[in-house]
Structure 1
Amino acid sequence: MDRKDFKIISEWIKKDSTVLDLGCGDSTLLKYLIVNKNVSGYGFEKNIQKVQESIKKNINVIQADFNIGLEKYFNSNFFDYAIMTQALQENKNPDHIILEMLRVAREGIVTFPNMGFWRNRFQLGFLGRMPVSNALPNDWYNTPNIHLCTFSDFENLCKSLEITIIEKKVLNDKYSSNFLAKLLPNLFGEIALYKFKKE
């Protein structure tokens, strides 16, 4: 497993901690954290096939849609970390789920594609069409993404919700970093990773 985003997330998480992985898919990340950081926790996934794949990996997983909320599943401060990778933009209410993450956990970690990436701007501004890229592979009519944002949008949301950004990493669609993404992240970064907590 050489996904750089997994490695970064693993570096941000303390050993032996508790983790909730929202939109966990087949629980590849959670399995990675169990092996590398000895975490315990749960996956949360609505797709029954992905849930079955998670169960085959011996992962505790709840089959439900986190858009309906987490209140009936977890008490406040139940976890050390709540993680959501590449699913924030699929949420009906991203602001609500961010607050829910910080209700059930001390810290949150999200990753998402950057709508402000220069190729996305070019496709929208000059070609007059919704962007399609490795980070945003679906056409507008069949995409699960309903709330695309830029890195600046997310940072403004955190500020308005009184959330402190602890760490930030900017990567390209191959999950590696480069000089331009570090220099002008909102223009040249394709994927962001944020670690945050309540102020």
Structure 2
Amino acid sequence: MPVRLDYRLIEQDVASGARVLDLGCGDGQLLRELIDRKGVDGFGIDVDLAEVQKCIARGVPVYHGDMLEGMAMFEDGRFDCVILSQTLQQTVRPDRVVREMLRVGRRAIISFPNFGHWRVRLQLLLKGSMPVTRVLPYRWCETPNIHLLTIKDFFALCQELHLKVIDRMYLTPGYCRLPGLLANLLASMAIFVMEAR
């Protein structure tokens, strides 16, 4: 299975040998890559039993359950890095998840689809219905996404939670990197690296 480009970009911000927690880890592909390529001490959390079984088959240590409940098991600063890849918009309380990520980890890496992308805006304007795109591939009645957000929304959350943004990357639908100036309009996906202040 080919590795998603956003995984490669996330990998760049993970130190070799780091203690890593991957929230909403799915089938464990990213964590397995980090273990194999960077020698991290990795652990995953996912609510989907079928995905947890895939993690186990890959040899990825994993907890089956809610990510907030899973993080509650860990003491402050247990991890060097906590990753939430393409899952923030599926959480019931994104603000609590981000806050807890930076309690159990020194650094957080979060990627999410940008609902402010011009194609999303255009579909809403012209069709008057919820958009379906490459990074938001579900119809409204089938989507796991419950808190869609834009890059500007995420910046506002970072300010509200007093987070320090260390790095950010913006990607187009073809996974080309963009400068920040028009990112909220042109980027289909964003990756943020943060620390608590």
Contact 1:67–1:93 under 8 Å retained in 2 = no
The answer as to 2:73 corresponding to 1:36 is no
Residue equivalent to 2:109: 109
Could you tell me which amino acid in structure 2 is paired with residue 70 of structure 1? M
The whole-number CA distance in structure 1 between the counterparts of 2:83 and 2:166 is 14
Residue equivalent to 1:164: 164
What SS does the corresponding residue of 2:20 show, helix, strand or coil? strand
Contact 2:68–2:100 under 8 Å retained in 1 = no
What SS does the corresponding residue of 1:126 show, helix, strand or coil? helix
What SS does the corresponding residue of 1:5 show, helix, strand or coil? helix
The whole-number CA distance in structure 1 between the counterparts of 2:181 and 2:75 is 40
The answer as to 2:47 corresponding to 1:52 is no
Task: Compute the RMSD of aligned alpha carbons.
Answer: 1.3
Contact 1:67–1:91 under 8 Å retained in 2 = no
Q: If the length of structure 1 is used for normalisation, what is the TM-score?
A: 0.94
The whole-number CA distance in structure 2 between the counterparts of 1:122 and 1:98 is 30
The answer as to 2:176 corresponding to 1:184 is no
Number of equivalent positions: 196
Q: Which runs of 5+ in 1 are unaligned?
A: none
Could you tell me which amino acid in structure 1 is paired with residue 189 of structure 2? I
Cα-to-partner distance string for 1:44-84 (whole Å, 9 max, x where unaligned) = 0111111111111111000001154621x211111000000
Could you tell me which amino acid in structure 2 is paired with residue 135 of structure 1? V
Cα displacement (A) at 1:104: 0.4
Q: 1:107 to 1:46 in 2, by over 3 A?
A: same
Equivalent runs, 1:1-199 vs 2, <5 Å: 1-68=2-69, 70-71=71-72, 73-178=73-178, 182-199=180-197
What SS does the corresponding residue of 1:157 show, helix, strand or coil? helix
The whole-number CA distance in structure 1 between the counterparts of 2:175 and 2:190 is 10
What SS does the corresponding residue of 2:146 show, helix, strand or coil? coil
The whole-number CA distance in structure 2 between the counterparts of 1:137 and 1:195 is 25
Q: 1:143 to 1:19 in 2, by over 3 A?
A: same
The whole-number CA distance in structure 1 between the counterparts of 2:58 and 2:194 is 29
Q: If the length of structure 2 is used for normalisation, what is the TM-score?
A: 0.95
The whole-number CA distance in structure 2 between the counterparts of 1:87 and 1:76 is 22
Could you tell me which amino acid in structure 2 is paired with residue 18 of structure 1? R
Could you tell me which amino acid in structure 2 is paired with residue 41 of structure 1? G
Cα-to-partner distance string for 1:10-59 (whole Å, 9 max, x where unaligned) = 11111110000000000100011111111012010111111111111111
Contact 2:77–2:106 under 8 Å retained in 1 = yes
